[in-house]
Structure 1
Amino acid sequence: MSRIPKAKTDEVVEDMIDGLFSDDPSRQLESATKFNAFLSSHEENLPIDEIVVSEVVPRFVEFLANKDNTELQSAAASVLVCISKKNTEVLIDHGAVPIFVHLLRFPTGYLQLQATGALGNVASASTQSRDYVLRCGALRPLLAQLHVNKHIMMLRMAAWTLSTLCCGQPRPPFHQMKAALAPLEKVLHFNDKEVLSHACRAVYYLFDGSRETFQSFFDAGLVLRLVQLLGYGSPSVIYLAIRTIRNLTNVDDQQTQLVINCGALRFLANLLTRNHRINIKRVACSTISNITAGTKELIQQSVIDANLIPILVNLAQNAKLGIKETALCAIVNATLRGSYAQIEYLVKQGCIKPLCDLLICPDRRIISVCLDGLENILNAAWAEKKIEDMQSYCQLIQDEDGIKKIQKLVQIVSYEIDRKASKILQTYGMIYKG
Structure 2
Amino acid sequence: MQAGQRPRSDVSAGVGLCGLAGLMSWLVICRHWAGVADLFGIPGPREPLSGPYAALAALVWSGGPMVVWSLLVDKVHRRPSTGIDWAAPRPLSQVLDVSVTKIAGLWATWALIGFAYCVARWYWQGPYLFAMDVIGAAAVPLFLLSVPYVLWLDRVLVEPRDGAWHFGALLIGREPHDPEQVRIHARAWLVKGFFCAFMISILPAGWAALTTADLSGIAREPVLAARWLTELLFLVDVQIAMVGYLVTLKPLDAQIRSANPHLAGWVAALICYPPFILMGPGSPLDYHPGTADWTFWLRDPLVQWIWCALLVSLTAIYAWATVAFGLRFSNLTWRGTLTNGPYRWSRHPAYLSKNLFWWASTLPFLVTSGNRNDALRDTVILALVSAVYFWRAKTEEKHLLAEDAKYREYHAWMERSPTITRFLSRLISAASPRRTVVQPAE
TM-score (norm 2): 0.23
Bigger helix share: 1
Larger Rg: 1
- With structure 1 as the length reference, what TM-score do the two structures score? 0.24
